Structure formats: structure tokens, C-alpha cells
């Protein structure tokens, strides 16, 4: 079957996460309707890419009140600063002509002057921020049409950067083709997204939600890029970014380049993960999801209902939407509230639930017995920050555990 909007061919549904709301569709009122869709994934027969069977409308996901802020944590600000330093080092004395696709609140481009970087950002609230900062910002989705407009106005770019954005774009071949036409010969395209291999190794099924239309593996990325005349020359793995991310360094195929040994290493690591067959691996992953979810639900409900403990969530992540809805933990009787620092999320209800998001304060944990780590990808940082709190933390990654 051809999956809607992605133009990819999937023959079998391998991973099923049931009816899910939009992960960042935080609600203001209890009565607000939460539209849901069937969240399921299969493998594209041609490239081996893990992709959604049906994608919800991207216009609904990325709108003018999108709440995810990239510079919401010091860890991420530092991560993007280093990515910008690498960009400057790569370009050396060459005049910078940078394009960022999915620039969010400008956490990456802020490291460059306004005449060095151009932004593309579909969410109006964020496009306004970079525009107000003086960066030429196109409030558009990334596709051939946008690329053509940019090409006419700016010519080709010598550096194109995109973080946590490519995996959101349903027609990914078109998105890469759009990069290919905007990238100067000899220029570099650098993009990073969560790694499907980390997801498998961590049992982190909550990486699967509406916005993660695709989950990339090195070989799938290589196959997709090959279709549009691009190739990977280096891969960098970040164990602690978004629960395990890969950054791909890409150039035109006909450019002279030295292939970094990280590319073969990444491909070998992938072969190891899929050594029993790619579809079999995902079928097993799907079986593990239901086992882990059952364990997590039993733990939380026995703590809250049987033992009368105060159980909350820590970090109102998109990932937690998948967990709460898949496990059917939707009542404040089980998770009293979720703490978060993001102003755009505070006071709202978790998508698909009656659980509120409360503003994090320094003494927020003083009466809390247990906290489920929504932001488990910041586990070390959070455990250090909360080392004096009387609270025990719960995670499901890689197994359901009280830490």
C-alpha cells in the first residue's frame, strides 16, 4: 500500500500504538475535544525507512501556537552552539551563506549574524521570533516550492542545517530533493534527528508520535539521499540528545570527498540491530511495547490507587503523550499533574487526558512520592538537580524501573 502523504510503499503494519492525539495538542479546557488518529508504522519496501502508515495533517501539528521551544534547556542551547561552531569551522574563511530549515526560536541561527543566515519555519509564533531578531524568515513548510523561492532570492547555500525537522516531513524524498537543489556544489547539508536504533535499544516506544512521521536509520537515510543525488560523508551519534540522535553530514554525490569511517561504523551497527531481519525486529519491538506499557501502568496505578502515593509526571514531553494514551493513564487519580518549565504548556491539559501541567518551582517535589520521567532523555541532569528531593523517579527506559 502507498502511505498517505509520504509517497512511500509499506506492505505491513509492524508497530501499533492505538488511537493517539497530537502529541503537542495541549488543551486549555476539560471539555475541549481531542481529535485522535491511529498511530502505526511500517517499513518502506524500497529504502527500509520506518514510517507512519497514515500521517495526520502537518498543518494541524505545526501551527501558530506550536509549544515546543528548542532553547528550553541549557543542554540543548549548548548542543546547538557547538553545532554552530562546527559550521563556522567548516566554512572557514568562506563567506557564510547558511540556511536553517525548521529554525524554531532561533537557538542555532542566533550564533550567526543576520546577513549570514536565512530561516524557514512553518510555525508562525517562532517565525516571528527570528524575523523580529532580524533574520530573513520564510514562514513556510519545506518543499520544492519553498526551495525554488529561496533559490531565486538568495542563490544556492553553502551550509544547510536542520535539527529535529526532517523526520517531521511526510514527503521526505521531496524534502531532500529540495535540499539538493538549494545546496551549492561543495556545500554541506547537516541534519539531525532521533535514531531509530537508539529507540530499539532503549525500548523507547514513546519516540513514536504524530510529529515523528519517520524514524531514521543510517541505511534508510543513505537510500533516500541517493535518490536525489546526495550522499553521507560523516555520521555523529549523540547518546544524550533526544534519547539518542544521529547527525548526518551530507554532500552532493559528485563532490570529491573523503568518506569518514563513522559512516561504515554506523551501517555496521545498524546491521547488528537488524541481524534477525528488519521486519522481525520491529514485530518484536511491538510486542515489547505492550509488555512494558502493562508493567508501567501496573506500577503507577498500584502506587497511586493501592498505596495512596502522590505520583506526578516530570517534563511535559511529546513522548509522554504516547505513554499516557497508550497505557490509558488519563486521570489525575493516577498522575496528579505533570511539572514543566515551558510557559506555553503550563496550565494546559495533557492531550487525551484530564491531567494538568503545573509550573515547576524549586520546592515542587517536596510532597511528591514518585515522579514518572516524561523527560527521561534528561535523566542525569534531572536526577542531579533533584538529588535533595524526597521523590523516587520512575522511568520505562530501557525497562520499567524505580530509580
Q: Does 319 bind ligand TYD (CB under 6 A)?
A: yes
Cα separation of 368 and 357, whole Å?
Answer: 15
Helix (H) or strand (E) holding 38: strand 36-43
**One character per residue 364-383, x = contact with ligand TYD (rule: CB under 6 A):** -----------x-xx--xx-
Per CB under 6 A, which region of 51-59, 101-109, 142-150, 335-343 contacts ligand TYD? 335-343
Q: Does 71 bind ligand TYD (CB under 6 A)?
A: no
Cα separation of 252 and 266, whole Å?
Answer: 20
Beta carbon nearer to ligand TYD, 257 or 360: 360
Q: Does 68 bind ligand TYD (CB under 6 A)?
A: yes
Q: Does 317 bind ligand TYD (CB under 6 A)?
A: yes
Beta carbon nearer to ligand TYD, 59 or 384: 384
DSSP label at residue 304 = I
Supply the minimum distance, in Å, between the C-beta of residue 325 and ligand TYD.
14
Supply the minimum distance, in Å, between the C-beta of residue 196 and ligand TYD.
15
Supply the minimum distance, in Å, between the C-beta of residue 258 and ligand TYD.
34
Q: Residue 3: what are its φ and ψ, rounded to 5°? A: -80, 150
Per CB under 6 A, which region of 84-92, 123-131, 341-349, 362-370 contacts ligand TYD? 341-349
Supply the minimum distance, in Å, between the C-beta of residue 140 and ligand TYD.
22
Cα separation of 380 and 94, whole Å?
Answer: 39
For the beta sheet containing 50-52, the strands, ordered from the edge strand earlier in sequence to the opposite edge, are 15-21, 36-43, 50-52, 214-215
Supply the minimum distance, in Å, between the C-beta of residue 215 and ligand TYD.
13
H-helix segments, 274-375: 278-301, 318-326
Cα separation of 161 and 165, whole Å?
Answer: 10
Beta carbon nearer to ligand TYD, 217 or 342: 342
Supply the minimum distance, in Å, between the C-beta of residue 376 and ligand TYD.
8
Are the CB atoms for 288 and 361 separated by under 8 Å?
Answer: no
Cα separation of 182 and 76, whole Å?
Answer: 27
Q: Residue 283: what are its φ and ψ, rounded to 5°? A: -65, -45
Beta carbon nearer to ligand TYD, 68 or 141: 68
Among candidate residues 103, 253, 219, the one with its CA nearest the CA of residue 164: 103
Give contact residues for ligand TYD (rule: CB under 6 A): 68, 72-73, 315-319, 340-342, 345, 360, 375, 377-378, 381-382
Amino acid at each position: 500500500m502507498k502511505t498517505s502523504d509520504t509517497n512511500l510503499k509499506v506492505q505491513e503494519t509492524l508497530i501499533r500504538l492505538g488511537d493517539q492525539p497530537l502529541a503537542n495538542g495541549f488543551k486549555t479546557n476539560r471539555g475541549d475535544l481531542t481529535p485522535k488518529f491511529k498511530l502505526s508504522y511500517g517499513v518502506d519496501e524500497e529504502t527500509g525507512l520506518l514510517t507512519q502508515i497514515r500521517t495526520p495533517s502537518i498543518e494541524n501539528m505545526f501551527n501558530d501556537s506550536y509549544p515546543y521551544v528548542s532553547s528550553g534547556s541549557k543542554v540543548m542551547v549548548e548542543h546547538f552552539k557547538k553545532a554552530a561552531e562546527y559550521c563556522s569551522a567548516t566554512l572557514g574563511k568562506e563567506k557564510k551563506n547558511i540556511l536553517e530549515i525548521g529554525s524554531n526560536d532561533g537557538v542555532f541561527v542566533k550564533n550567526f549574524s543576520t546577513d549570514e543566515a536565512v530561516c524557514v519555519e512553518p510555525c508562525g509564533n517562532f517565525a516571528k521570533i527570528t524575523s523580529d531578531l532580524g533574520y530573513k524568515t520564510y514562514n513556510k513548510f519545506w518543499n520544492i516550492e519553498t526551495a525554488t523561492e529561496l533559490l531565486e532570492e538568495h542563490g544556492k547555500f553553502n551550509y544547510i542545517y536542520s535539527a529535529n525537522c526532517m523526520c517531521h516531513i511526510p514527503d521526505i524524498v521531496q524534502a531532500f530533493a529540495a535540499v539538493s537543489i538549494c545546496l551549492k556544489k561543495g556545500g554541506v547539508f547537516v541534519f539531525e534527528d532521533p535514531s531509530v536504533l537508539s529507540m530499539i535499544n532503549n525500548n523507547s516506544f514513546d519516540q513514536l508520535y504524530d510529529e515523528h512521521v519517520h524514524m531514521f536509520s543510517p541505511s534508510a537515510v543513505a537510500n533516500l539521499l541517493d535518490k536525489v543525488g546526495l550522499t553521507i560523508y560523516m555520521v555523529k551519534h549523540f547518546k544524550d540528545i533526544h534519547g539518542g540522535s544521529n547527525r548526518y553530514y551530507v554532500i552532493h554525490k559528485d563532490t570529491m570527498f573523503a568518506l569518514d569511517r563513522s559512516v561504515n561504523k554506523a551501517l555496521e551497527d545498524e546491521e547488528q540491530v537488524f541481524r534477525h531481519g528488519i521486519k522481525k525486529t520491529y514485530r518484536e519491538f511491538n510486542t515489547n511495547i505492550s509488555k512494558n506499557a502493562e508493567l508501567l501502568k501496573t506500577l503507577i496505578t498500584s502506587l497511586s490507587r493501592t498505596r495512596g502515593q502522590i505520583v506526578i509526571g516530570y517534563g511535559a514531553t511529546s513522548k509522554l503523550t504516547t505513554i499516557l494514551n497508550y497505557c490509558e493513564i488519563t486521570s489525575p487519580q493516577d498522575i496528579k499533574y505533570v511539572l514543566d518549565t515551558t510557559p506555553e504548556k503550563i496550565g494546559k491539559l495533557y492531550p487525551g487526558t484530564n491531567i494538568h501541567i503545573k509550573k515547576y518551582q524549586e520546592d515542587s517535589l517536596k510532597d511528591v512520592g514518585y515522579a514518572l520521567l516524561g523527560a527521561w532523555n534528561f535523566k542525569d541532569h534531572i536526577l542531579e538537580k533533584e538529588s535533595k528531593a524526597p521523590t523516587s523517579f520512575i522511568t520505562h527506559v530501557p525497562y520499567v524501573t524505580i530509580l
